[in-house]
Amino acid sequence: MEINWNERDPIYRQLHDRLVEMILEGTYRNGDSLPSVRQISADHRINPITISKAFQLLVDEGVVEKKRGLGMYVMMGATEKLAQDEKRLFLMEEWPRLVGKIARLGLSVEELLEEGSVK
């Protein structure tokens, strides 16, 4: 698991967000186990309490479940739930800002499609 840490967000939030990304990307699928607290702590030199806080946030969101003695597992339907949550967040928060910027810059749909195409 590769994480590019930043200074502005708490470590537990960055770890949470990276795990969400990995679930959405298919690195971890419904029913898969996540790395253990010990493994993440050793790999990234993070306090185990910080990792537990990130995991608890995922549990609270209904994305992962604790299996006593076994670890953390991605819940069935978590990928779909996360995708819906990400779409909603994008449409409610990010898209309106992008639309405003597009309008301020006077960009047309054609320009966006032309510049946005993969080269």
Indicate the pTM of the whole model. Answer: 0.77
Work out the widest C-alpha separation in the chain, in whole angstroms.
57
The confidence score (pLDDT) of residue 110 equals 86
Joined tokens for residue 117: 């195409």
- The C-alpha atoms of residue 24 and residue 8 are separated, in whole angstroms, by 24
pLDDT tens digits, one per residue of 82-95: 999 999 999 999 99
Give the ranges where the chain is alpha helix by DSSP (H): 11-25, 37-44, 48-60, 78-89, 95-105, 109-116
Domains of the chain: 11-78 (1.10.10.10), 79-116 (no CATH)
pLDDT tens digits, one per residue of 17-58: 999 999 999 999 999 999 999 999 999 999 999 999 999 999
